[in-house]
């Protein structure tokens, strides 16, 4: 899954809720809602990032709004197409 999303580390929403306020130096952003084998409901997945410098961190945070808008539009398109991209 990390290869598909081009993220070195992905965590589930359950893990995100456990660590989001307790780990300093890491940034998180939602990347998708995925159907996981063995689960009835889809699971929200998050990218985990640790930055080498403030410039990278500022860029990540500075593009967060555009990323969230893109994620919303992508989800809306997927909902219109149906579960297998039909529509």
**H helices within 1-87, ranges in order?**
2-5, 13-19, 54-62, 64-81
Question: Tokens standing for 47?
Answer: 């990218």
Question: Tokens standing for 49?
Answer: 């990032």
Band of pLDDT at residue 84, cut at 50, 70 and 90:
low
Measure Cα distances from 80 to 4, 36, 85 in Å.
22, 21, 8
| CA–CA dist 77, 7 (Å, integer) | 22
| CA–CA dist 35, 41 (Å, integer) | 7
What would the pLDDT profile of 29-71 be if each residue is shown by its tens digit? 888 888 889 989 989 999 888 877 777 777 777 887 888 888 7
pLDDT beyond 70 at 13: yes
């Amino acid at each position: 899954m990390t290869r598909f999303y081009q993220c070195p580390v992905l965590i589930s929403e359950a893990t995100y809720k456990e660590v989001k306020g307790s780990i300093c130096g890491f940034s998180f952003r939602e990347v998708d809602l995925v159907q996981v084998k063995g689960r009835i409901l889809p699971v929200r997945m998050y990218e985990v990032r640790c930055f080498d410098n403030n410039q990278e961190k500022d860029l990540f945070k500075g593009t967060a709004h555009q990323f969230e808008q893109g994620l919303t539009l992508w989800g809306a398109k997927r909902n219109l197409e149906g579960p297998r991209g039909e529509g």
